[in-house]
Amino acid sequence: MAKTPRTWTGARTPSGLKRVRQAERRRDILQPRRSAAKTFVSAALSVATHDADPETAAQALADAHAALDRAAKVGAIHPNAAARRKSRLTLKFNAATGGAAVQTAGRVTKTTSKAQAQKAAKSRIAVGKANKAKGAQTAAGKARAAVSKTTRTEAAAAATGAELTAASPKKAAARPAAKATAKAAPKATAKAAQKATATKATTAKKAPARKPAAKS
C-alpha cells in the first residue's frame, strides 16, 4: 500500500508546536528593539552629516549607543554585535563631523575578580557592624580615637610611674604608725587587767557578810 507524501514540513509534536508559539511571542517583543536600534543609528549618522550643532550630534550618538545597549540587554542582538555596531557608528560619526572625537558616556566595566569583590563586600559589612555597635561617638570619644597608640602607651606609663611615686611616702608613713600601735597594745592590755583586779577587790570589801540561817 502506497503512503501519501508528507506535505506539512513544520512542527508536529506538542513540544515543537510550543516552541513555534514561543518564537512568535519572542519575535513580537524583540523585533521592535532591533528596529529602534537601527532607527537611532541612522538618525545619529543623519545628524552628524547635516547638523552643524556639536551638542545635538553628541546627544544623537549617545542615544544610538543607549539603544544598542538596551537591545543587547534584552537579547534582541548579541552583546558583541552591539559593541561592533557602536564602534563602527563612532568611526563613521567622527569621519562625518570632520574627525572631531566625541566623548560619550560609556559603560563602566568591572576590573575586580569575583573573589576580590566578595572580600571587599565582607570588609564593608564588618565595618558597618562595628560602626553600628559603637554607636554615636561623643567629642571626648573622637578625641581619644585621634590620639595615636604610641601616645596612649606613653601616657599610661607616665601615669603608672606617678602613682607609684605618690604611694611610696604613704607606705613609709604607715610603717612607724603600725609599730607604735603594736607597742602600745600590750601596755593598754596590762592596765586594763590591773583595773579589773582592783574593781573586783573593792566589790568584795563592800559586800556584807551573809549570816547563816537559823535552824528550827
10-14, 45-49, 197-201: segment of lowest average pLDDT: 197-201
- Helical H runs in the chain? 14-50, 54-74, 79-96, 114-134, 139-146, 149-206
Inside any domain, residue 92: yes
Quick check: is 156 in a domain?
A: yes
pTM for the whole thing? 0.43
What is the extent of the structural domain holding 87? 15-96
Q: How do residues 121-180 score in pLDDT, each as one tens digit? A: 888 888 877 777 766 666 666 666 666 556 777 878 888 877 777 766 555 555 655 555
Establish if 187 belongs to a structural domain: yes
- Cα 201 to the chain's mean position, in Å? 89
DSSP 147: S
Q: State the average pLDDT for the chain.
A: 76
pLDDT > 90 fraction of the chain, expressed in percent and rounded: 29
For residue 30, being part of any structural domain is answered with yes
Q: Cell triple for residue 129?
A: 557592624
Give domain status of residue 119, yes or no.
Answer: no
Q: What is the mean pLDDT of residues 197-210?
A: 60
**Residue 209 belongs to a domain:** no
Q: How far apart are CA 201 and CA 216, in angstroms?
A: 35
Shared-domain flag, residues 19 and 92: yes
Tell me what pLDDT residue 126 has. Answer: 85
> What per-residue confidence (pLDDT) applies to 12?
86
d(CA 134, CA 175) in angstroms, rounded, equals: 48
Q: How many domains does the chain have?
A: 2
Examine the domain organization and report whether 159 and 92 are in the same domain. no
- The CATH number given to whatever domain includes residue 64 is 1.20.58.110
Domain-embedded: residue 46: yes
